Chain A
Amino acid sequence: LPLTGKTDDHLLAEKYLRRFYGLPTGLRGRQASSSDFQNKIQQMQRFFKLQITGNLDDNTLEVMKQPRCGVPDVGE
């Protein structure tokens, strides 16, 4: 399937991690924001048993694009 542009993917991921993994919203320092983002991606990759890279790779994006329930995954 064709992939959307990188910026779109990053926005999608940010929105996804905010909603389901409690990624903080608002402006933050550059370093803190990037490590938060990676930690949240890792958390999501761990949950879905994907390879834990902390990067927004194709497999991670594919899961993010699947239809799903709107309740956050981080209940535990």
Chain B
Amino acid sequence: YNHFPRHLKWENNNLTFRILNYTPDLKKTDVDRAIRSALNAWADVTPLTFKKLHEGIADIMISFGSREHGDYNPFDGPDGLLAHAYPPGQGIGGDTHFDEDEHWTKDASAYNLFMVAAHELGHALGMAHSSDAGALMYPIYSFSTGYPLAEDDIEGIQALYGPNPNPKKRKPRPDAPNKCDPKLSFDAVTELRGETIIFKDRFYWRLHPQMTEPELTLIKFTWPSLPNKVDAAYEYPEKDLVYIFSGIRVWALNGYTLVDGYPKYIHKLGLPKTIREVDAAVHIKDTGKTLLFTDEEYWSYDEATGTMDAGFPRSIEDDFPGMHDEFDAVTFQNGRLYFFHEDLQYEYSYNYRKVIRIMRTNSFLYC
């Protein structure tokens, strides 16, 4: 996290706010609720309190405006800049402006007012931008549900104001994963048209043959309708599709575009209804089969016929000796299977049916 120069903060903990005007995109009550919830997110972890004023000058003056809107710091029309806020101080200090040219919503269909307000009010309280992609104070918009602050945001605001004397139980958003954490584990790994995509919590890393560093992005940023947690993924290159599993649902991507008609239930693949999630999945080009791993067993799905092969499920321990009997993720590259279990990665020769190397999971990210 970062603060503004000189660690600007409010001198007293009892602050006032006033909403000067409303966006026509939402009902007044929805705007009130979004702003109040955004302020409460910060109040929950600090001794700060916020009182609403209906007239006069408040510490935090909130308004919606287009283009040049009175502070010589113009907005830019739809998209691009969404909002801005001024750090604590007299006059314009603490004031928070939203770009009226955006479409404001209370869900994920366009820019969610609550998420943007929570971020901007962070500035109004003294938080500058964080370079942690998982933090609310990261400068790029992303949507998520639940409590909006990450540990990084909480540490930052508490460094200014201290903790709430009556703390509420809140589950902060996880910070962005550290690719070189020796304990790093993966949720899912897949190929995508020559790139490798690694899912972890709300994020994915993209490895491109022409990029020397993995690129970390929020899943919701690229695919707003995908869930925040991916269990398994695999590419079926014959159809140029990547399948993404989360719980009992599966989505399909063509390139980076979500395919219409999804999500579908995983049971349509022939898995029994007792299976509630797929741990890992991989397509093996040489055989045309897709292996689906669930707990200590795996299934074989024939892509050509669209049916589950007879004789499955089989035991992972029996058919893939020398490794753990459960996996987080698996991928097939250059004739080898790469199995991931927690912080360990097993390189497995499919032809010789044996483990060739055991490495740290994070070595897949060049650590």
Contact = CB atoms under 8 A, between A and B. Distances in A.
Q: Do A and B bind each other?
A: yes
Interface of A: 20, 47-51, 59, 63, 66-73, 75-76
A71 B139 contact: yes
B2 interface: yes
Contacts of B104: none
Nearest to B84: A70
Contact of B81 (A59, A63, A68, A73): A68
Contact of B119 (A48, A69, A73, A75): A69
Interface stretch (B123-131, B159-167, B321-329): B123-131
Given A47-B131, A49-B216, A51-B211, A73 B3 contact: no
A76 B82 contact: no
Contacts of B2: 75-76
B111 interface: yes
B349 to A, nearest CB: 33
Given A51-B211, A51-B213, A76-B128, A69 B111 contact: no
A50, A51, A59, A75: most-surrounded residue (chain B CB, <10 A): A75
A49 B133 CA distance: 9
B139 A69 contact: yes
Contact of A67 (B73, B131, B140, B212): B140
Chain A at the B interface: SS class: loop
B83 interface: yes
Contacts of B129: 47, 69, 71-73, 75
B5 interface: yes
Given A49-B133, A76-B2, A66 B211 contact: no
A59 B82 contact: no
**8 tightest A-B CB contacts, nearest first:** A75-B128, A70-B84, A70-B81, A76-B2, A67-B141, A73-B129, A51-B213, A75-B4
B253 to A, nearest CB: 15
B120 interface: yes
Nearest to A57: B211
B3, B120, B215: most-surrounded residue (chain A CB, <10 A): B215
Contacts of B116: 69
Interface in B1-21: 2-5
B5 A75 contact: yes
A66 B141 contact: yes
Nearest to B133: A49
A38 B111 CA distance: 32
Given A20-B139, A76-B3, 19 more contacts: A47-B129, A50-B215, A51-B212, A63-B140, A66-B221, A67-B79, A67-B80, A68-B82, A68-B139, A69-B82, A69-B83, A69-B120, A69-B123, A69-B129, A69-B140, A71-B84, A71-B120, A71-B139, A76-B2
A48 to B, nearest CB: 7
Contacts of A71: 84-85, 120, 123, 128-129, 139
Contacts of B4: 75
17 contacts: A49-B216, A51-B211, A51-B213, A67-B79, A67-B140, A67-B141, A68-B139, A68-B140, A69-B141, A70-B75, A70-B81, A70-B82, A70-B83, A73-B128, A75-B5, A75-B128, A75-B129
A8 to B, nearest CB: 14
Interface in B265-288: none
A73 B123 CA distance: 11
Contacts of B120: 69, 71
Contacts of A75: 2-5, 128-129
A49 B119 contact: no
B80 A49 contact: no
A74 B136 CA distance: 16
A75 to B, nearest CB: 3
A12 to B, nearest CB: 10
A67 B79 CA distance: 6
Nearest to B97: A70
Contact of A68 (B73, B141, B216): B141
Nearest to A75: B128
